[in-house]
Copies of this chain bind each other. A is one copy, B any other.
């Protein structure tokens, strides 16, 4: 049996394990140090009560033969797809029900969607980048091109007509930079994709953080996108589902390449290699869209947004260049005094007892940048900011 040798080409990432080791070493040497962790993009607030109530009710349903649910539709129950469709409509985007596929999270689908594409395609990703885009394509043996995201373009690169790419990854609001494309930016990408018969894989996992109505939440707000784009969404950051696992992927009915319909292909892929998301979880996700669910989620988002604002205000005060902080839970700051990101990591850990993520972990262009997240506790966020301000001012 011949193994897939492309696995040997996947870069081993030691980013989070190195961070964990450095923090462990530091706390072992300084057991009383009040370390504040702002490195990992995981939520901390509990699930919205509406989801809790809905999941309790769903568990009860499964305890009685009359209301028991076995295999459900692989692409998700209508009650959830209808709610997602209405959510899109409330932001001005019309979707057909058959364009929505419920998943166990954006990460799974961002990887699995590659089943639909030939190995012989050129992939375009930004640098810095969420490593999953690179690793999943390396695994499949595809050629990867990088585009520079940097200070001069606000970490929002636009298409270069001279570059020929077939599969383009865009993430907006971006992980790790927090930068958000405006409509003109996305339109440039849609135009490029249509002109080059390329497909855009649009990672909208952080769309719920978009507060500015002038910024798009969905690539399908852009004319023509249904002919070139697939969108990946998640309940992870919206409703704290990082450990509860639910997302959805939108594959337009009219998306066709070389005479093959990608919506039909994805339906076939999912019915063959997936068996749907747990009924209980889908009920919890649907509750996010109820009147009380919307209110509760908004309170959580406001909490994280206020954390982000506190971080952003501190950067403004310190005169530190950054992206994100608004319309995003991430702050991507330029390391002060020309420091490199790992150097700044050590400096911040040792002198402020604050842990963040070195930008170098996301690519060459991140080597002088640093990510802080707004998913932490309010008081700890304030305390971290005070320490950072004291250290850097």
Contacts and interface: CB of A to CB of B under 8 A. Distances in A.
Interface of A: 1-5, 7-8, 10, 42-47, 49, 52, 55-56, 59-60, 62-65, 68-72, 104-105, 107-108, 111-112, 115-118, 120-121, 132, 135-136, 139, 166-167, 197-199, 240, 242-245, 257-258, 260, 262, 265, 268-269, 272-281
B70 A107 contact: no
A244 B63 CA distance: 12
A208 to B, nearest CB: 16
B59 A273 contact: no
A42 B70 contact: yes
24 contacts: A2-B120, A2-B257, A3-B257, A3-B258, A4-B116, A4-B118, A4-B265, A7-B265, A7-B268, A8-B260, A10-B268, A45-B68, A46-B63, A46-B64, A46-B68, A47-B62, A47-B68, A52-B62, A52-B63, A69-B243, A71-B243, A72-B243, A243-B278, A280-B280
Nearest to A131: B272
A115 B4 contact: yes
A302 to B, nearest CB: 16
A176 to B, nearest CB: 16
A1 B278 contact: no
A237 to B, nearest CB: 10
A242 B117 contact: no
A199 B1 contact: yes
B59 A52 contact: yes
